[in-house]
Structure formats: C-alpha cells, structure tokens
Amino acid sequence: MRYLFYFVLFCTVSISCSREVMDPQTGSLAVRFDNVVGGADLNLNGTTYTNSSGEPYTISALNYFVSNIRLRKVDGSEYVVPQDSSYFLVRESDATSQTIRLNNVPLAQYTGLSFLVGVDSLRSVSGVDKRTGVLDPGTGSHTSGMAWDWNTGYIFMKLEGTSPVVNPDATGNRNYRFHIGLFGRNGTPNNLRRVSIAFDGASVTPDNPARSLVTIRANVQTIFAGRTRLSLAQSPNIMIAPKSSEVADNYAGMFSFGNLTTGPQ
C-alpha cells in the first residue's frame, strides 16, 4: 500500500512537472483585420478611389475568408490553431467580423502568424456536418454570398463596387465584381494562398482575457496592383476565369503588419 501511495504521488508530480505552467496554460489572442485603401480607411459606397490603372472606383463589398491560422514562436516553431476553431469570415460591412479571437492558445511568445485566404481544399469537399459557423451554407457564408452552390465551393474573396470605366450591365449599373474561389478540384486553378505576417520584430503573448491585439492591414489597392496590374475597364468581372489566379496572387500581397497593442480589448 505504501508503495502504491508513493507511485501515485510520483506519477502526479511527474505529470504536473511535465507541463510548464499548470494554470493558466493558455490564453487568448485577438487579431484585427483593418481594411484600407492606400493610406485611408476603407469606406463602403461613399468614397471614390483611384487604382493604379488610373481608374476611379467605389467599393460596395469586401469579404474574405481567413482560415487555418498558424502562430509562429520565437524559436521558429509553430502553433497550429485547431482547425475547427480556425475559420473566420471578415466582412467590411460588419465591424465585429473584422476582429477574430483565438482562444486556448498555448502561452508562448509569438512573432508572427500565417493564414489561408479562403477555405482549404479538404474542408471545401467535407460533408455537411463539417460546414458549421461561417461555413454553414444556411447561415454564415451564403448569407454573405460567399459560396457557390451550383459548383460546390466557397468564394475566398469578394470585392464588388462600381467604376465609370465599366460598361453598364443588365441592371444599368457600372458594376465590377471579383469573386475569387476554386481550390483545384477537377483540375481547376488552385486559388488558395497562404499569407505570412511577421510582427516586425515584436512578439506577443496570449493573455486571459485577451489583452493583446495584433492589427493586420489589408490594402485593397494591392488587389489591382500586386504582381499583375488589373484594369477594371478590361476585366470588370473576374470569377472563375484563369485571371482569377492573378487576383489571388495580388490579394495575397495586400496583407501587412499594422501594429501590436496590449491592454484591455
């Protein structure tokens, strides 16, 4: 009996010691996506901007999926956010959607993060039971028009608005529409892009409740002028055409580190 006692005690102590911090071991981290156009905050519908092709345009919608987030530690290793907790839909029209909260993050110093713009190919072909939250075709994504039902797949990034250089469509409006999806099924282009952001040498530690906020800037101008310069007059509608990959390449470059703040969120 005595030996059993010491055995249990030993096991308990070893288990306790094997975990660096017992409680709390994890914290939360908030990440805000700040959509901007050049140096200015993005203003839906109201403001006319000019792209690098010299074309004036307005923006009526900007939505994108952020998923499969990984946090990079000081030593270069990564914490992979559990996948079921790693799908977010950022919508310019909904301020609360622009700040995402990562919970149960192991306590460590993180110097950067990476994420997919879009929904990974595996989840894009998963059963209906895996399509919950923002992936639910009955609530989140479809309400925001972020999925195709006739050719099952999510729209990774949607940018819509008007431009005087575009010819009027059937509605009589000079609309442009970028609906970028496709994940490589049936040999279609794979427009999934992983974006990696370094916190400019700074590091952040999760906290409970979340006090740390990483702001990532998303500059819409880059969608028109990243790797490829796009012209709204030439391509007002880009959805499933091969040009969709050029848009994906461009928007993959629109994200940059904004700043890091700590304090009550």
Partner 1 sequence: MSYRQWVTLAAVVALWCGIWACQPKPGTDNINPDPTPINPTFKTTPLDWKKPANFPDPVYNFNANPLTTQGFTLGKALFYDGLLSHDGTVSCGFCHQPTAAFAHTDHALSHGIRDQIGIRNVPAIQNKAWQREFFWDGGVQDLDLLPIAPIQNPVEMGDTLANVLRKLRNDPRYPTLFEAAFGTKEITTERTMKALSQFMLTLVSSNSRYDKAVRGEGPALTNAETRGLTTFKAKCATCHATDLFTDNSFRSNGLPRIPNAKIDDVGRGAITLKPEDNYKFKVPSLRNVERTPPYMHDGRFWTLEQVLNHYATNPASSPTTDPALRGLTLSNAERTDLITFLRTLTDNEFLSDRRFRQ
- Position 142 contacts partner 1 (CB under 8 A): yes
Unique residue bearing structure tokens 């200015």: 40
Number of neighbouring beta carbons within 10 Å of residue 4? 8
Is 176 within 8 Å of 236 (Cβ atoms)? Answer: yes
Shorter beta-carbon distance to partner 1: residue 56 or 138:
138
- Position 209 contacts partner 1 (CB under 8 A): no
- Asked if residue 106 has a cis previous peptide bond (ω within 30° of 0), the answer is no
Question: Which range binds partner 1 by CB under 8 A, 112-120, 181-189, 224-232, 252-260?
Answer: 181-189
Q: Minimum Å distance from CB 93 to partner 1?
A: 16
Shorter beta-carbon distance to partner 1: residue 41 or 149:
149
Where would I find the beta strands (DSSP E) of the chain? 26-37, 40-41, 49-50, 56-57, 61-73, 78-80, 87-91, 99-106, 110-117, 147-148, 153-154, 157-162, 175-180, 193-198, 212-219, 237-238, 255-262
Phi, psi of 146 (to 5 degrees): -110, 30
CA distance 164 to 174: 6
Token pair for 231:
């012209």
- Position 253 contacts partner 1 (CB under 8 A): no
- Position 234 contacts partner 1 (CB under 8 A): no
- Position 136 contacts partner 1 (CB under 8 A): yes
Which of 45, 47, 74, 84 touches partner 1 by CB under 8 A?
A: 84
Q: Minimum Å distance from CB 47 to partner 1?
A: 30
Shorter beta-carbon distance to partner 1: residue 60 or 103:
103
DSSP string, 49-80: EE-TTS-EE--SEEEEEEEEEEEEETTS-EEE
- Position 170 contacts partner 1 (CB under 8 A): no
Which of 47, 48, 93, 152 touches partner 1 by CB under 8 A?
A: 152
Map the footprint of partner 1 across residues 15-54, applying CB under 8 A.
15-16, 19, 22-26
Where do contacts with partner 1 occur on this chain (CB under 8 A)?
1-2, 5, 8-9, 12, 15-16, 19, 22-26, 82-85, 87, 101, 103-104, 106, 125, 127-129, 131-139, 142-143, 149-152, 185-189, 240, 242
